[in-house]
Amino acid sequence: MESALLRYTVNFSGHSKTVAHHRSDSEIPRLKSCPGGSKEEWYANVLSRRSVMATGFSLVSSTAIGGEALAVVKQGLLAGRVPGLSEPDDEGWRTYRRPDEKSGGHGVGWSPIIPYAFSVPQDWNEVPVSIADLGGTEIDLRFASPKEGRLSVIVAPVLRFADNLGDDVKIENIGPPAKVINAFGPEVIGENVEGKVLSSNVAEHDGRLYYQFELEPPHVLITATAAGNRLYLFSVTGNGLQWKRSYKDLKRIATSFRVV
């Protein structure tokens, strides 16, 4: 039985994607089977007969308008946006919360990662994480904005640094701010932080302490805390121009980090 490769374009959110799908001869309606029909009507007939599954999204319905296929897109549990990312608020900021079902346990025997949350302006989006990145396999998440900068979340097992802290670690159990930034700052910037710490602060939210640091050079804001048997390092950075233009937003992002 011969097979054919069916190609068509799906538009959503201002972008287009070409989808390829193999069909056997018996499944593909021929143009001659639609007497008097136009080419556009034939394509509409093909698209309306099937729901098409493609990587990262499901096409749950489709129709032809002016010969162009438009699709209703459902992405995971949150239609049309990154799972875990809210709609913009009145100020145009969105809140990201790590989905409970997200994979990534960082080793057999480790408890599930306790979710965290932070806020970003609406032009920030999640970007792929590579094990070749600074921080390696312990980078849990990356976000970036072409205008303002980028951020990352490192979730590191505390047993890498001490073996007597238990399974419900607080950041103060690891040490004071100076000890934490000297020990873990290199995880973020890739070099010793001596002489680079411009300021440090301790904030408390819902009974949990957060150590907040500003380093230069490079320009970076770091928020550190601990929960369960892991240390969380949330870093926000940008190049010189981004830092100058968007420092207020970068600072707000850095101080919004919470373990929830």
Q: Please check whether residue 111 is in contact with residue 229, taking contact to mean a CB–CB distance below 8 angstroms.
A: yes
Task: Please give the pLDDT value at position 135.
Answer: 58
Task: Please give the pLDDT value at position 37.
Answer: 53
Q: Which residue is listed with tokens 């920030």?
A: 124
Torsion 103-107-109-110 (CA) sign: negative
Hey, how many other C-beta atoms are within 10 angstroms of the C-beta on 80? 12
Does residue 139 sit within a domain? yes
Structure tokens belonging to residue 247: 């420092």
Task: Please give the pLDDT value at position 166.
Answer: 85
Backbone torsions φ then ψ of 79, nearest 5 degrees: -65, 130
User: For 84-91, which contacts have Cβ atoms below 8 Å and span 24 or more sequence positions?
Assistant: 85/126, 88/122
Task: Please give the pLDDT value at position 83.
Answer: 83
Q: What is the number of domains present in the chain?
A: 1
Does residue 145 sit within a domain? yes
Does residue 50 sit within a domain? no
Residue 130 belongs to domain spanning = 83-259
Does residue 77 sit within a domain? no
Does residue 126 sit within a domain? yes
**Which residues is 125 bridged to in the sheet?**
144
pLDDT in 10s for each residue of the chain, 260 residues:
444 444 444 444 444 444 454 444 444 444 444 445 554 554 445 444 433 333 333 333 333 334 333 333 223 333 334 689 999 999 999 999 999 888 765 555 567 899 999 999 999 999 998 766 665 668 999 999 999 999 999 998 888 777 888 889 999 999 999 999 999 999 899 999 999 999 999 999 999 999 999 999 999 999 999 999 999 999 999 999 999 999 999 999 999 999 99
Q: Between the CA of residue 60 and those of 15, 31, 49, 63, 75, what are the distances in Å?
A: 18, 25, 12, 11, 10
Hey, how many other C-beta atoms are within 10 angstroms of the C-beta on 88? 14
Q: What is the pTM of this model?
A: 0.68
- The CATH number of the domain where 183 resides is what? 3.40.1000.10
Does residue 26 sit within a domain? no
Q: Which residues of 175-205 are buried (b: 16+ CB within 10 A; e: fewer)?
A: bebeebbebbbebbbeeebeebbeebeeeee
Does residue 181 sit within a domain? yes
Does residue 38 sit within a domain? no
